């Protein structure tokens, strides 16, 4: 079988990526003059916070997927592993952008984080050991920095075999062991950040008086399933362009099962967080959901967004991806990947905006324009990364297993 090793970026792909980045840049400039310099700059910064953190964590989830399958000796993903690696490259520019935005939020201070001005508030004073400017900045830089460095190390290890084939079984075992060690380090750091502290700092602290012990896992589930959806989109695109000859319907089916499973997992966390707070009915906890849902005592302006997000993030994957055939159909799984990515973008929207604008929904062309810019940046970065190295790690010790993979 003749293998097309290198991705040649089509002109239409390049045009779309640059065009979307231009839309994002124009949206930022217009948004800055409309909102950033107004009396309420939070409108501008809230959209930047939502988009920068969402797309950063989604692309970082691709590296988690790579590390988790490496640790589990999951040879099936080797055939499209370079796609996962290329998506993780986007963590570099996205991390820089998100880092600048996050640091500006505590330095410029558009009054989004109330814990920056605790005053005599006993709750905020009690949390000041964690919620303070110094720790926020240091931990943000450290988190993004180590995601970048460890991701680079994993990609470097993957490319070692391109020009230096594993010569004997012992060398193969040493290579696999080295991969699992670095994958383990990444997973531990990921757990200490994305699965715990980072969502608390960046997002949950927007509602500084409220807390949920499930919040970080809820955020992780949201970005991980979106990360799988992003992998699916690029795999299907490359297959349609005639690349990834070793990837077949079985690989796509397994990715579809991940999308289905983690959509259900996200729903479990969503329901657990909501149900426990609703059942207890403690004012300190229910305050988070007041702008997001409607009850007999109040009407939340974000009710429509809240339930629409639930429908497309749970009911759509449940009803469509449950069938075996839907996970093996390129059109269906592409559609569901787009739906999931948009659905969890909305999830991040309702994490950020109700805390800043509890009385009215702020969602418009500006927000979609900023999102388009980030999508274009991801397309541009991933396309360049795919074109620089072979699309298949043909000398990897597990390449035979990925070729004969079947469910």
pLDDT in tens, 52-79: 999 999 999 999 999 999 999 888 888 8
Inside any domain, residue 179 = yes
Q: Which domain holds residue 307?
A: 11-402
Model confidence at 246, pLDDT cuts 50, 70, 90, reads: confident
Inside any domain, residue 4 = no
Task: Check residue 296 and give its pLDDT.
Answer: 66
Q: Residues 102-130: what's their mean pLDDT? A: 91
The answer to which of 2-6, 99-103, 359-363 has the lowest mean pLDDT is: 2-6
Nearest CA to 129 out of 41, 200, 68 is that of: 200
Inside any domain, residue 46 = yes
Domain count, the chain: 1
341-358 residue pLDDT tens: 999 999 999 999 999 888
Task: Check residue 168 and give its pLDDT.
Answer: 74
Inside any domain, residue 393 = yes
Position with higher pLDDT, 136 vs 111: 136
- Percent over 70 (pLDDT), the chain: 97
In contact, 252 and 321? CB cutoff 8 Å: no
302-342 residue pLDDT tens: 988 889 999 999 999 999 999 988 999 999 999 999 999 99
Does the structure show a pLDDT above 90 at 283?
A: no
Does the structure show a pLDDT above 70 at 406?
A: no
Inside any domain, residue 139 = yes
Inside any domain, residue 407 = no
Does the structure show a pLDDT above 70 at 288?
A: yes
Model confidence at 279, pLDDT cuts 50, 70, 90, reads: confident
Task: Check residue 16 and give its pLDDT.
Answer: 96
Q: What is the pTM of this model?
A: 0.94
The answer to which of 102-111, 187-196, 225-234 has the lowest mean pLDDT is: 102-111
Q: Residues 37-54: what's their mean pLDDT? A: 89
Inside any domain, residue 2 = no
Measured in whole angstroms, the distance separating CA 331 from the mean position of its chain's CA atoms is 23
Task: Check residue 180 and give its pLDDT.
Answer: 93
Task: Check residue 176 and give its pLDDT.
Answer: 87
Task: Check residue 173 and give its pLDDT.
Answer: 83
- Percent over 90 (pLDDT), the chain: 66
Inside any domain, residue 1 = no
Average pLDDT value for the chain: 91
- Separation between Cα atoms, residue 5 and residue 305, nearest integer Å: 44
Model confidence at 162, pLDDT cuts 50, 70, 90, reads: confident
Position with higher pLDDT, 36 vs 46: 46
Task: Check residue 293 and give its pLDDT.
Answer: 85
């Amino acid at each position: 079988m003749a293998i097309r090793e290198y991705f040649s970026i089509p002109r239409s792909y390049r045009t779309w990526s640059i065009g979307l980045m231009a839309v994002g840049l124009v949206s930022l400039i217009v948004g800055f003059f409309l909102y950033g310099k107004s009396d309420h700059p939070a409108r501008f910064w809230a959209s930047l916070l939502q988009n920068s953190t969402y797309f950063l964590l989604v692309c970082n989830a691709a590296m988690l997927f790579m590390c988790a399958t490496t640790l589990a000796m999951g040879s099936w993903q080797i055939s499209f592993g370079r796609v996962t690696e290329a998506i993780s490259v986007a963590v570099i520019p996205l991390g820089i952008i998100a880092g600048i935005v996050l640091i500006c939020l505590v330095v410029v201070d558009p009054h989004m984080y109330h814990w920056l001005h605790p005053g005599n508030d006993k709750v905020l004073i009690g949390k000041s050991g964690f919620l303070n400017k110094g720790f926020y900045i240091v931990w943000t830089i450290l988190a993004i920095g180590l995601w970048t460095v460890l991701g680079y190390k994993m990609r470097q290890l993957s490319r070692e075999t391109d020009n230096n084939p594993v010569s004997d079984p012992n060398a193969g075992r040493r290579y696999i062991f080295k991969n699992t060690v670095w994958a383990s380090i990444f997973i531990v750091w990921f757990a200490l950040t994305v699965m715990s502290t980072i969502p608390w700092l960046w997002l949950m602290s927007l509602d500084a008086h409220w807390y949920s012990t499930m919040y970080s896992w809820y955020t992780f589930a949201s970005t991980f399933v979106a990360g799988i959806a992003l992998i699916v989109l690029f795999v299907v695109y490359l297959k349609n362009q005639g690349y990834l000859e070793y990837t077949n319907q079985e690989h796509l089916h397994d990715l579809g099962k991940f999308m289905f499973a983690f959509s259900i997992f996200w729903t479990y966390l969503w329901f657990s967080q909501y149900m426990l707070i609703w059942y207890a009915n403690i004012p300190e906890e229910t305050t988070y959901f007041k702008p997001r849902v409607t009850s007999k005592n109040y009407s939340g302006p974000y009710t429509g967004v809240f339930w629409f997000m639930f429908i497309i993030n749970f009911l759509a994957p449940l009803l469509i991806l449950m069938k075996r055939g839907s996970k093996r159909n390129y059109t269906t799984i592409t559609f569901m990947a787009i739906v999931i990515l948009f659905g969890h973008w909305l999830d991040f929207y309702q994490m950020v905006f109700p805390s800043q604008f509890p009385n009215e929904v702020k969602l418009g062309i500006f927000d979609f324009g900023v999102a388009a810019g980030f999508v274009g940046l991801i397309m541009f970065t991933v396309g360049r990364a795919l074109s620089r190295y072979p699309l298949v790690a043909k000398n990897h010790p597990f390449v035979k297993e990925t070729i004969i993979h079947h469910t």
